[in-house]
């Protein structure tokens, strides 16, 4: 027979959301100087090695995006926003038009953790587990 379990109400275990714009939050201040790679991706395609080796000056590579479609802003390879390419003083830039929502739980590719190593156990007459000596 199992013992009843006392559950703590969910509302008492949550905290108020942290204001991301507040300066001086010690939890985030440590991360401010961590370098990340930002990239703007205008599109992708798949080619065979033969097609890739045949590329030369004047070759056109067709991408999976339409002209005028928003491009992706990637941080360390993960999309975080979309926007439109702009030219300012002969340099390219990105005008952010949309911030991408995070991936739903369960859809992120995560490496599976290693299987736990089972420790042999013995049981005493009362039923308590006693770890076996190695």
CATH number at residue 50: 2.30.330.10
For 111, other C-beta atoms within 10 Å of its C-beta total: 5
pLDDT at 128: 54
pLDDT at 27: 81
CB 37 within 8 A of CB 76: yes
* Model confidence at 11: pLDDT above 60: no
* Model confidence at 109: pLDDT above 50: no
Tell me how far apart the alpha carbons of residues 132 and 123 are, in angstroms, rounded to a whole number. Answer: 10
pLDDT at 66: 86
Tell me how far apart the alpha carbons of residues 119 and 133 are, in angstroms, rounded to a whole number. Answer: 9
pLDDT at 26: 76
Domain membership flag for residue 5: no
Burial status of residue 130 (CB atoms within 10 A of its CB: 0-12, 13-18, 19 or more): exposed
- As for how many domains the chain has, the answer is 1
Residue 17 pLDDT level (bands cut at 50, 70, 90): low
Domain membership flag for residue 10: no
Question: Helix %, strand %, coil % for the chain, to 5?
Answer: 10, 25, 65
* Model confidence at 94: pLDDT above 70: yes
CB 122 within 8 A of CB 129: yes
Residue 5 pLDDT level (bands cut at 50, 70, 90): low
* Model confidence at 28: pLDDT above 90: no
Domain membership flag for residue 125: no
Domain membership flag for residue 74: yes
Domain membership flag for residue 24: no
Domain membership flag for residue 28: no
- Find the domain containing 56 and state its range: 35-101
Mean pLDDT for all residues in the chain: 75
Domain membership flag for residue 4: no
Tell me how far apart the alpha carbons of residues 66 and 57 are, in angstroms, rounded to a whole number. Answer: 22
Give the residue-averaged pLDDT of 96-108.
70
Domain membership flag for residue 71: yes
Q: Which of 102, 96, 35, 49 is nearest to 71 (CA)?
A: 96
Residues in the chain: 134
């Amino acid at each position: 027979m199992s013992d009843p379990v006392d559950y703590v109400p969910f509302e008492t275990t949550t905290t108020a959301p942290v204001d991301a714009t507040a300066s001086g939050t010690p939890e985030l201040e440590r991360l401010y100087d961590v370098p990340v790679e930002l990239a703007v991706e205008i599109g992708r395609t798949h080619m065979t090695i033969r097609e890739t080796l045949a590329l030369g000056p004047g070759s056109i590579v067709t991408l999976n995006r339409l002209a005028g479609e928003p491009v992706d802003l990637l941080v360390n390879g993960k999309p975080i926003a979309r926007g439109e390419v702009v030219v300012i003083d002969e340099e390219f830039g990105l005008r952010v038009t949309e911030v991408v929502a995070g991936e739903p739980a369960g859809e992120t590719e995560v490496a599976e953790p290693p299987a736990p190593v089972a420790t042999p156990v013995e049981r005493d007459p009362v039923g308590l587990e006693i770890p076996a000596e190695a």
